[in-house]
Amino acid sequence: MAMEILYESALDIAKWIKGREVSALKVTDAFLDRIEKVEPSVRAFINLYGEHARQRAKLIDEGIAKGEQVGPLAGVPIAIKDVLSTRGFKTTCGSAMLEDFVPVYDATAVERARAAGTIMLGKANMDEFAMGSSTENSFFGATSNPWDLERVPGGSSGGSAAAVSAGEAPWALGSDTGGSIRQPAALCGIVGMKPTYGLVSRYGLVAFASSLDQVGPLTLNVRDCAALLGAIAGHDKCDSTSIEEPARDYLGALSVDIKGMKVAIVKELSSEGIDPAVLERIRATIDILEKLGVSCDEVSLPSFENGLSSYYLIAPAEASSNLARFDGVRYGYRAGGEFNDIWEMYDATRAEGFGPEVKRRIMLGTYALSAGYYDEYYAKAQKIRTLIVRDYGRAFDDYDLLVSPTSPTTAFKLGEKMDDPLTMYLSDICTIPVNLAGIPALSLPCGLAGGLPVGFQIMGPPLSEQKILNVAYALEQEIGFDPRPAGLEKM
C-alpha cells in the first residue's frame, strides 16, 4: 500500500481517506516509512514528529468513522519549512541561534493548514534564516537533491522541495523572499508558488526581509497547489500587511481553457547568463502555449538588469534590522562565559549563533543603512524597485502574464558555489523581480536538461493567482512531467 500512496495527488489521498478506502494512519505510516528509508540520503528534515503525526491521524480516522465533519484535506501529511512557527514544536530557522527554541503559537499558515486537516510530519531543512539558494547554509547540514544526491535542491526552501520530490511528503509549505519557493521547486521538479504579497499571512513567519517574504505551497501538481493555496490564503488581522481579500476556491475555478490569452517572455530573464539547455526547454514550453491558442511575444523590461543589485541591498538591510532581536537576552542561544558588559555578550552570542552567510548579509545591510551610505545605496535600490514595479505594470497593460526560466541553470553540485557568494546570488536572478514587485508567480516543471528538472516561471499582476494556475494546469496536462526521481526509486 505504501508505494501506491507515494507520489499520488494530495487531493486523491484526501478523497480516499474520506471515503474510508484507506485510513489516515496508514497514509501517515506510509510516508514515515518512506522518510525512514530515504532521509539518511536526502536529509530534508531538521526535526521529525512521527508519534504526533500518528496520534493526529488516529483522531481523524475516529472522527470520520463517527461521521463527524472533518477538514477538506483531512489526513494528508505535510512538511513545514522550519521558518514557520509551530506551537509546542521546535522552530529553528536552520540556525544554532534557535536550535532549541519552541514557540508558544502557530503561524497563521500552519494553523490554517491544520484546520483543513493536514498532518505535520516534521520541520523541513532550510538555509539559515532563509538566506541562501542551495540549503547548504543550514546549521544542521545540507540537503541533497533527490534527482542527484550530489547536487543541491535549491534554497532556501530546499528541505520542503526535497521532501516532496523524494516522496517523503505529498506537499509542503515554504517561504519565498527572492525565489526561495520557486527556485527549489524548479531544481527538484515540482510545483512551487509565491502568492501576491499580503495574500497569505506572514504572522508566525520568522522575518528575513519583511517587505519581500511570502508563504506559499510546494506540491507535486497544479491541482494540489491550488488546493493548498486556497487553504492558507485570506485576510488575517494579526498581520498588518495582510490584504483584505476573501478566501477563494482556486481549485474549484481551475480550468484548462486558456485560448486567446496573451503571454510574453521577458527578454532580460531569458538571454545572457541562462544555460542554453534550460532555454531550449523554455522555448519548447512556449511552443506548447501557442498550440493551446495563447499568443506569445517577447517583452523588454530594462529595469530588471538592476534587480539583483537592488535586492541584495534591500533584503540585507531589512535582515539587519529583523535579526537585531537575536541578542541572547530574550530567547534563543546565549554565549557562555564571563563578560565585562552586555555588549561583549551580544558580540559573542552573535559570533557563535549566526553562520557565515547570515553575518555577511547583516554586515551588507548595516552598511547600506549607515548614515554616510543610505542615499548612495539603499535609497537608490528602492528607486530601482519602483522602476521594476512600473515595468511590470506597463507589461501587464499589454499581456495577461509574463514567463521566463525559473532558474538560470539546473541543480548545481553541492559545494560548487559555497566559496563564491556572488555566483550563488546569481541563482536568483530570474525570481527576484517578482518579490521586489510583490506580484504572484509559479514555477512549473517543464522537462529535463541533462537528466535534471527545468522550471518554467509564470508571472502575473497582483491577485492573478487563478489565471497563473489555469495556464500552469493547461501546460501540465500537455507536458506530462513525471515528478519521480528515477535514481532515488532504486534505493
Instruction: Reply yes or no on whether 309 is catalytic.
Output: no
The answer to whether 81 is a known catalytic residue is yes
**C-alpha cell at position 240:** 498588518
Catalytic position from the list 81, 194, 417, 467: 81
- C-alpha distances (whole Å) from 267 to each of 186, 273, 439 are 20, 12, 18
Q: How far apart are CA 144 and CA 65, in angstroms?
A: 40
Give CA–CA dist 396/28, Å, rounded.
43
How many Cα atoms are found within 13 Å in the side-chain-facing hemisphere of 442?
33
**Measured between alpha carbons, how far is 485 from 483 in angstroms, rounded to an integer?**
6
Strand order of the β-sheet with 295-299 is 45-48, 119-124, 77-81, 171-176, 214-219, 191-194, 441-449, 452-459, 401-405, 262-266, 295-299
By the 10 Å C-beta count (0-12 exposed, 13-18 middle, 19+ buried), 51 is classed as: exposed
List the catalytic residue out of 134, 156, 160, 407: 156
**DSSP H/E element including 317:** helix 307-322
156 as an active site residue: the answer is yes
Query: Which of 290, 309, 307 lies closest to 298, judged by CA?
Result: 290
End-to-end CA distance of the chain: 18
Active-site annotation holder among 175, 180, 270, 427 = 180
- The closest alpha carbon to 228, from 256, 266, 200, belongs to 200
Phi and psi angles of residue 142, each rounded to the nearest 5 degrees, phi first: -80, 150
- Side chain identity at 252, as an amino acid letter? G
Listing DSSP states for 256-272 in one string gives ---TT-EEEEEGGGSST
Residues labelled catalytic: 81, 156, 180
